[in-house]
Amino acid sequence: MQKAYVAAVAAAVGVKADFSSFVEYGVDGTFQLVGEFVTPIGERLLRETGYPLDFQLKSTTDCREIKGQATEFSYDCHSSTYNKIVWQNSSDAVPVLLIVHCLPANEQEWLSVSEDALTLRNACYWHVIKGSQTSRARSQVIRIPRSQLFTPEALTDIMREVQTTGGRLR
C-alpha cells in the first residue's frame, strides 16, 4: 500500500521512485529528480539529475496521538532500522527519509475501488531521523508532526533541499 502511495506522489511531481531490491542496504527505495536534456542532434531525453534521496517505508495501524499533543503522533521504530537511518543521515552516505503510512485499524478499510476512484485510506508522513544511535533492544519512539504529510509539494521541497545542500537533509 505504501509503495503505491509513494509512487503516486513522486509521479505527480516528476520524481523517479525506484523500488529496486535494497534489502542489504536497509532502505526500500531511492528518489531521483528527472530532467529533460537535448542531445547535440536535437533528441530529447529524460534523465536522472542531481542528488538521490533514499527512503525507508513503514506502515502501521497504530499512529497514536501523543497525550496532549494532537499535532504529533508517535511511531515505534525498530532499533536496528532507527540506527541505520541515524548513521546514514550523519555520514557521507545518501540521506534517508522515513515515510510512515498510517492505516486504519480495520484492514477492510485500507483500499476501496469504484468506477470513479481508487482510494488508499489515511496518509503517509515523512520524517528525518537524526541524532544518536540507540542502545535499546527493541524500538525507539519517534515523534512525527502531523504537518509532515507526504504530499507532492512536500516531496518537491525535500528534493529541493537535498539539491541545494549538496545531498544532505537538515
Checking phi first, is residue 46 left (phi over 0); if not, alpha (psi -120 to 50) or beta?
beta
Cell readout for 11 is 509521479
Low-confidence ranges of the chain (pLDDT < 50): none
Cell readout for 148 is 509532515
Q: CA-CA distance, 28 to 20, in Å (whole number)?
A: 8
Q: What is the pLDDT of residue 121?
A: 85
Q: CA-CA distance, 93 to 79, in Å (whole number)?
A: 19
Q: What is the pLDDT of residue 24?
A: 65
Q: CA-CA distance, 125 to 147, in Å (whole number)?
A: 8
Orientation angle between helical segments 2-12 and 152-164, nearest 10 degrees: 70
H helices, E strands: number in the chain: 3, 10
For the chain, the domains span 2-106+114-164
| Residue labelled with grid coordinates 541515524 | 86
Q: CA-CA distance, 21 to 18, in Å (whole number)?
A: 9
Sheet strands (E) in the chain: 15-18, 29-38, 44-60, 65-66, 69-78, 96-102, 111-113, 118-120, 124-127, 139-145
Q: What is the pLDDT of residue 66?
A: 61
Q: What is the pLDDT of residue 68?
A: 65
Q: What is the pLDDT of residue 11?
A: 94
